[in-house]
Amino acid sequence: MTEPGSVAPDFTLADQDGNQVTLSELRGNQVVLVFYPLDFSPVCNDQLSVYQEVLPEFEERGAKMFGISVDHAFAHKAFQEKLGLTFPLLADFEPKGAVAQAYDMYIDGRGHNHRGFVVIDPDGNVKHWHREKTPLDIPGANLIFDALDA
Amino acid sequence: MRGEGQVVVIEYGDYECPYCAQADLMVTGFGLKRVFRHFPVVSKHPRARVLAYAAEAAALQGAFWEMHDSLFGDQGHLDVPHLWERAERLGLDMDRFEADRRSDAVEQRVAADFRTGIRAGVATTPTLFVDGDRFGGIPGPELLERLQRDSAR
């Protein structure tokens, strides 16, 4: 279901401001879904902060970036403000982790996501799927650039 | 670049990051040949870019490592007046230091370092490449052992 070329599982999730974001309505753009374990964990801070630094370069490529974790929109809002992030964070909160499970990014028994990302092409198909071996490892932004440019 | 030996350590960090200071001290202690590249992550460390510019402005007067050591040596005093004090202590031409740290050339130098880090997959600070092998995040025993081993080579 996350093989390159397969249709990306559709979803509707609330962002940090409670806006509903539906994947299939984003067609026409490349979409980057960044799966990360939890708001406010030290390693997540680094990952999303570094992506924020190069966000203009993702946007130059016509890509829209979203972070996804099991945290609630209220937590996302505080986390986004703390880090000064300008891309949306989606709340995969209820049913918990359902979108992460559909993308094979959920760690059963741990209650949170793996660290990884999925690039979806403008037609809504999976272009690239990447998952780190442990939540302590961070996918470099270079991997996202390579996937967008492929 | 400074230090001696065949092994090169490339260190990506920022001057507001406490773990970077810790990693830097470890590398300095072993005297390995090393390169420092700026990787300021402003959303985490608001002063990081300004401090990187100060180090590069000092570099234009031949005092990069002196400023580098000064910044990592005392991370409690990183506001602009503290930068002036540091620059004065190093005997820098202050007018030139002030102009250089705001210059396009210095900004581009730091941005270029950051880009090489992104290309190399750096996603956290500090990240060290010891003879090409990556050590990211809080410096731990693995890094220490590796530096020890390589300094003996």
For the entire predicted model, the pTM comes to 0.86
Which stretch of DSSP H or E encloses residue B117?
Answer: helix B104-119
Whole-number Å distance between alpha carbons of A145 and A134 = 21
Contacts B122 to A, Cβ<8 Å:
50, 140
Whole-number Å distance between alpha carbons of A128 and A76 = 25
Contacts A139 to B, Cβ<8 Å:
123
pLDDT band for position B22 (cuts 50, 70, 90)? very high
Contacts A138 to B, Cβ<8 Å:
123-124, 136
pLDDT tens-digit readout, B40-61: 998 888 899 999 999 999 999 9
Cβ-nearest to A49 among B43, B118, B120 = B43
Tell me whether residue A28 is exposed, middle or buried, using C-beta atoms within 10 angstroms of its C-beta: 0 to 12, 13 to 18, 19 or more.
exposed
Whole-number Å distance between alpha carbons of B120 and A145 = 12
pLDDT tens-digit readout, A64-121: 999 999 999 999 999 999 999 999 999 999 999 999 999 999 999 999 999 999 999 9
In chain A, % of residues over pLDDT 90: 89
Whole-number pLDDT of residue B79: 94
Instruction: Please determine, for residue B3, whether its predicted confidence score (pLDDT) is greater than 80.
Output: no
Which stretch of DSSP H or E encloses residue B57?
Answer: helix B48-59
Q: What is the CA radius of gyration of chain A?
A: 14
Q: What is the ipTM of this complex?
A: 0.77
- Alpha-helix residue ranges (DSSP H) falling in A10-96: 42-53, 55-60, 73-83
CB-CB contact of A141 with A50 (8 Å): yes
Whole-number pLDDT of residue A1: 57
Instruction: Please determine, for residue B5, whether its predicted confidence score (pLDDT) is greater than 90.
Output: no
B41 has a chain A CB within 8 A of its CB: yes
Whole-number Å distance between alpha carbons of A143 and A128 = 10
Cβ-nearest to A85 among B43, B125, B137 = B43
pLDDT tens-digit readout, B108-151: 999 999 999 999 999 999 999 999 999 998 899 999 999 999 88
B112 has a chain A CB within 8 A of its CB: no
